[in-house]
Amino acid sequence: MGIKADNGMEVLMHIGIDTVNLNGEHFSSQLQVGDRVKIGDELVRFDIAAITALGYDIITPVLVVNSEQYPHLSCRQPGPVNFGEQIVALHTEEHNA
């Protein structure tokens, strides 16, 4: 799933390792292309039990696709994240001048 913020930051979230092989089975997007989202909005529903039963790892990489535009990036330590926890803070050069 890709998200583009108003400030141009592009984030890619991939739920699970190799889950693309499921062709969308056990996943249900709660959004349409072009929808605007805010903190707390539900993005996707997925059946963790079914996915892991098929042997897939549900580790979910979250990548900043255009990270070169954010030279000052701070990330939390790897590990489980709870709803509402901040995982990354990005600053453009102008915020650090």
Q: Domains (ranges, CATH) in the chain?
A: 2-96 (2.70.70.10)
Question: What confidence tens digit (pLDDT) does each residue in 34-93 have?
Answer: 999 988 899 999 999 999 999 999 999 888 899 888 888 777 777 888 888 888 887 666
Secondary structure letter of residue 83 according to DSSP? T
Which pLDDT score is estimated for 51?
98
- Whether 14 sits among the annotated catalytic residues: the reply is yes
Of 97 and 16, the structure prediction assigns the larger pLDDT to 16
Cβ contacts of 6 within 8 Å, gap of 6 or more: none
| Residue corresponding to tokens 């098929």 | 54
Active-site annotation holder among 14, 26, 91, 95: 14
Give Cα 57 to chain centroid, integer Å.
Answer: 16
What's the pTM? Answer: 0.74
